[in-house]
């Protein structure tokens, strides 16, 4: 068992090397390079300073880390990654190593699931190595959406632990811990998929054991994990009304990222290019519906007459596979859940586990000629479906891939018949690496790559030393592909959280959530890009204060993209601003800076006081602004803070209501007669008290379940001096080959 577990981990490492040989940047792509890695660095620096990450006001709509969720602020493994991140200069290495670790965890989780359902260790290793290199995981989760990879990794261990708990082989704590890790990564899909998995396992155990108590225990332990994990999502849910994603429930199907079930017939051809609507149009640039080259042909070598003996025991796997496959076809939007193609990793996971378990228990080569013929027919179906999905210029690739799959299948069958099934499984494990290389090499440079610099030191040396708070007015869509490098735009402009790599303070950041009104007035998108009108709006006076937005935001510098504003330098600078030259960067940017120097460090985050009001900052942090205020006739104090839900304001210790300016700036009205009063503005994640309460209930609940488990275990253990009875387990049939090996 341990030998095959080690082989599983080694198989993942070798397959990673194969992918890197095809494209060394494959694991440092898209959101990984523009969002996740810079976010890890930022959170890690806050942790090292002893600050709890929550809201970062100067990052504006991208700075509410608790609402974003994807900072994984309550996830211990990911916090460890963030703590380490600032010490790593080569970000490609950082991303690749982190993803390798998560992929090994994922593979070993699959290994545990298979062996828990009675599969032999060699078949568990086959499934374990194959899952991380299925199409969607390889080209999207591994390349870009690392938290989806992390969540899936923890989900697999929760699955194995749930079955073991239901069958009396383990207690509730492993299920609780792994499920909490899957939930608290902050990516909503693993949490949702975990809930579906737990439901499928619970139903499956009722079918298998014909009693409800084991499943009830699973549901209770999972519920405890959900109660503790609620705090991860409460801030986002309670803040949704001010974001792009309002809490109003939406249920629709516009066809975007929905997968026709017929595309599943492409699951074993590595050349496939499925057809469905996505960002890339109708024909996809990589084989994201691919699962494993042997998955579909292997169906011909299962003794389906004998499968009925195992169906009750593995029904949970089949139920989960059915639910996830059903979901991939739509609807496209269910509340906060969009793009059902994201469920494809669960389809790959469940089908690989199911097929490998059945091959282990009921695999056979009896009647091998007929079975080989059936496998050949299945390959022809794969070929026909792949050609019909993407025929233009790819027919030869599909034929080539079909011949390669047939040849590899023939070698595996020959080894299984002449040697041992274990050796055939070893070949299947080894085959994952060259197929992964084949797929990545065929795609070439990942189409979603930003090509951001890999080394922080080199990026910092090339970029201007912008101190204070900078607002960039640029559009990433205007960057020519050939200039997306350090000698080009990345020596002067940022995208997403790239500024964190540079240790610079930018208003622009990466946010899938956004703040509706700030985004509206600044015309800012998810990656920090803006529209051309953003320049006019940034310097237009707000009516109630008479101040432009850049003053209310306390911005020290405005960087203008030359491609968007080619004639900007011909215009006189706004009042209080000057044009500043940065030699070597004039081909890409124009820079405006304040004549009188930075304002972001003056008087805390107080950006405006109405006539007759004095406000002096006394203490300032990310979460708190404390000021001494006076006003004979009353007035208003405006802070350079987005009024996110969760703010609490007191004046001399008494609660006061706060208002807003343009729904984008927090404002406090000071009553007449106020003299030398202490004004305190404090932010806490909305729902934090409820979250603590549910967490306590969750910990207490799992503690009770663990106590009951230990009590039952002690009760069932043999008395002193009494011989222990061996565990009676249902026999697992050997895989059948013609000569009886």
Dihedral over alpha carbons 321, 129, 70, 59 (to 10 degrees): -140
Rounded to whole angstroms, how far apart are CA atoms 560 and 428? Answer: 54
For 527-581, what is each residue's pLDDT tens digit?
999 999 999 999 999 999 999 999 999 999 999 999 999 999 999 999 999 999 9
> Residue 631: phi, psi to the nearest 5?
-165, 120
Number of helices and strands in the chain (H, E): 24, 19
Q: What three-state secondary structure class fits 516?
A: helix
**536 contact partners, CB below 8 Å, separation of at least 6:** none
Residue 379 burial (10 A CB sphere; 0-12, 13-18, 19+): buried
pLDDT at residue 390, rounded to an integer: 84
Rounded to whole angstroms, how far apart are CA atoms 347 and 339? Answer: 15
What value does the CA radius of gyration of the chain take, rounded to a whole number of Å? 29
What's CA 615's distance to the chain center, in Å? 42
**8 A C-beta contact, residue 278 and residue 173:** no
Residue the block writes with tokens 């397959």: 15
Residue 542 token pair: 């707000």
Q: Distances from the Cα of 403 to the Cαs of 265, 269, 380, 382, 636, in angstroms?
A: 17, 10, 10, 12, 75
pTM: predicted TM-score of the whole model, two decimal places: 0.94
SS (H, E, C) 660-717: EECCCEEEEEECCCEEEEEEEEEECCCCHHHHHHHHHHHHHHHHHHHHHHHHHHHHHC
pLDDT at residue 727, rounded to an integer: 41
Rounded to whole angstroms, how far apart are CA atoms 142 and 254? Answer: 27
Residue 703 token pair: 């503690």
Rounded to whole angstroms, how far apart are CA atoms 33 and 98? Answer: 13
Residues of the chain with pLDDT under 50: 720-741
DSSP state of 475: -
> Residue 27: phi, psi to the nearest 5?
-90, 5
Rounded to whole angstroms, how far apart are CA atoms 519 and 533? Answer: 12
Rounded to whole angstroms, how far apart are CA atoms 262 and 259? Answer: 8
pLDDT at residue 732, rounded to an integer: 44
Q: Taking the alpha carbons of 18, 24, 29, 35 in that order, is the dihedral positive or negative?
A: positive
Rounded to whole angstroms, how far apart are CA atoms 85 and 79? Answer: 10
pLDDT at residue 718, rounded to an integer: 62
Rounded to whole angstroms, how far apart are CA atoms 648 and 691? Answer: 18
User: Among residues 354, 202, 168, 334, which one has the least CA distance to residue 267?
Assistant: 354
pLDDT at residue 629, rounded to an integer: 97
Residue 37 token pair: 């890695």
For 72-88, what is each residue's pLDDT tens digit?
999 999 999 999 999 99
pLDDT at residue 70, rounded to an integer: 86
The partner residues of 499 in beta bridges, in order of sequence, read none
SS (H, E, C) 518-577: HHHHHCECCCCCECCCHHHHHCCECCCCCCEHHHHCCCCEEEEECCCCCCHHHCCCCCCE
Give, in degrees to the nearest 5, the angle at Cα 577 between 573 and 582.
Answer: 85
pLDDT at residue 392, rounded to an integer: 76
Residue the block writes with tokens 């996809």: 284
Residue 633 token pair: 């006739």
Residue 587: count of CB within 10 angstroms of its CB: 12
Architecture of domain 606-683 in CATH? Sandwich (2.60)
pLDDT at residue 247, rounded to an integer: 54
Residue 515 token pair: 């703040």
Cis bond upstream, residue 437 (ω within 30): no
pLDDT at residue 172, rounded to an integer: 98
Rounded to whole angstroms, how far apart are CA atoms 741 and 734? Answer: 9
pLDDT at residue 52, rounded to an integer: 87
The beta strand positions in 143-283, using DSSP E, are 251-252, 275-278, 281-283
**8 A C-beta contact, residue 549 and residue 537:** yes
DSSP state of 514: -
Domain ranges of the chain: 145-242+688-741, 249-448, 457-594, 606-683
Residue 362 token pair: 């009921």
């Amino acid at each position: 068992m341990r030998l095959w577990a080690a082989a599983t981990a080694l198989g993942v490492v070798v397959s990673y090397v194969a992918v890197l040989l095809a494209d060394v940047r494959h694991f440092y792509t898209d959101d990984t390079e523009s969002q996740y890695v810079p976010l890890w660095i930022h959170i890690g620096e806050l942790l090292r300073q002893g600050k709890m990450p929550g809201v970062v006001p100067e990052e504006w709509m991208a700075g509410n880390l608790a609402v974003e969720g994807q900072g994984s602020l309550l996830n211990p493994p990911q916090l460890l990654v963030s703590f380490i991140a600032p010490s790593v200069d080569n970000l490609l290495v950082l991303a690749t190593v982190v993803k390798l670790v998560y992929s090994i965890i994922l593979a070993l989780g699959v290994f545990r699931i298979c062996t828990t359902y009675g599969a032999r260790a060699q078949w568990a290793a086959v499934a374990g190595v194959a899952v991380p290199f299925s199409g969607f995981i390889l080209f999207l989760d591994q390349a870009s959406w690392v938290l989806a990879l992390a969540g899936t990794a923890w989900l697999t261990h929760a699955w194995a632990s749930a079955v073991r708990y239901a069958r009396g082989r383990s207690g509730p704590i492993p299920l609780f811990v792994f499920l909490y890790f899957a939930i608290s990564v902050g990516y909503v899909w693993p949490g949702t998929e975990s809930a579906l998995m737990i439901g499928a396992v619970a139903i499956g155990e009722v079918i298998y054991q014909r009693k409800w108590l084991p499943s009830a225990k699973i549901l209770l332990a999972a519920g405890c994990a959900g109660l503790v994990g609620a705090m991860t999502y409460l801030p986002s849910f309670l803040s949704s009304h001010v974001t792009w994603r309002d809490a109003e429930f939406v249920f629709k199907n516009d066809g975007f990222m929905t997968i026709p079930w017929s595309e599943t017939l492409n699951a074993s051809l590595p050349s496939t290019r499925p057809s469905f609507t996505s960002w890339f149009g109708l024909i996809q640039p990589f084989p994201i519906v691919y699962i494993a080259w042997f998955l579909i042909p292997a169906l011909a070598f299962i003794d389906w007459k004998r499968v009925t003996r195992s169906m009750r025991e593995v029904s949970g796997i089949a139920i989960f596979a059915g639910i996830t496959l059903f979901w991939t076809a739509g609807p496209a939007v269910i509340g906060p859940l969009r793009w059902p193609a994201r469920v494809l990793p669960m389809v790959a996971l469940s089908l690989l586990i199911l097929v490998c378990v059945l091959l282990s228990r009921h695999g056979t080569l009896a009647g091998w000629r007929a079975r080989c013929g059936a496998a050949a027919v299945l390959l022809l179906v794969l070929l026909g479906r792949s050609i019909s999905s993407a025929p233009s210029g790819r027919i030869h690739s599909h034929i080539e891939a079909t011949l390669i799959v047939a040849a590899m299948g023939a070698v595996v069958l020959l080894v299984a018949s002449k040697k041992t099934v274990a050796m055939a499984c070893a070949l299947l494990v080894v085959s994952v690496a060259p197929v992964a290389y084949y797929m990545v090499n065929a795609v070439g440079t990942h189409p979603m790559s930003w090509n951001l610099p890999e080394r922080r030191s080199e990026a910092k040396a090339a970029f201007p030393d912008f101190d204070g708070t900078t607002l960039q007015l640029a559009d990433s869509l205007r960057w020519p592909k050939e200039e997306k490098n350090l000698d080009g735009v990345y020596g002067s402009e940022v995208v997403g959280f790239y500024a964190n790599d540079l240790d610079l303070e930018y208003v622009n950041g990466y946010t899938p959530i956004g703040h509706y009104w700030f985004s509206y007035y600044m015309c800012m998108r998810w990656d920090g890009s803006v529209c051309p009108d953003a320049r006019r709006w940034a310097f237009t006076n707000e009516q109630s204060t008479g101040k432009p937005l850049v003053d209310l935001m306390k911005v020290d510098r405005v960087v203008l993209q030359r491609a968007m504003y080619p004639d900007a330098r011909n215009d006189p600078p706004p009042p209080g601003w000057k044009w500043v030259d940065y030699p070597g960067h004039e081909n890409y940017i124009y820079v405006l800076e304040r004549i009188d120097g930075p304002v972001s460090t003056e008087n805390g985050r107080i950006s405006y006081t109405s006539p007759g009001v004095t406000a002096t900052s006394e203490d300032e942090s990310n979460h708190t602004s404390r000021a001494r205020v006076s006003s004979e006739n009353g007035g208003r104090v405006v802070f350079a803070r987005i009024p996110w839900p969760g703010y609490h304001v007191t004046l001399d210790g008494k609660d006061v209501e706060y208002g807003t300016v343009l729904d984008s700036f927090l404002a406090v009205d000071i009553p007449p007669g106020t003299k030398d009063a202490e004004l305190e503005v404090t932010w806490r994640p909305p729902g934090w008290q409820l979250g603590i309460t549910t967490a306590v209930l969750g910990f207490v609940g799992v503690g009770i379940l663990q106590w009951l488990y230990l009590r039952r275990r002690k009760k069932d253990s043999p008395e002193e001096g009494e011989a222990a009875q061996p565990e009676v387990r249902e026999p697992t049939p050997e895989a059948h080959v013609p000569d009886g090996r």
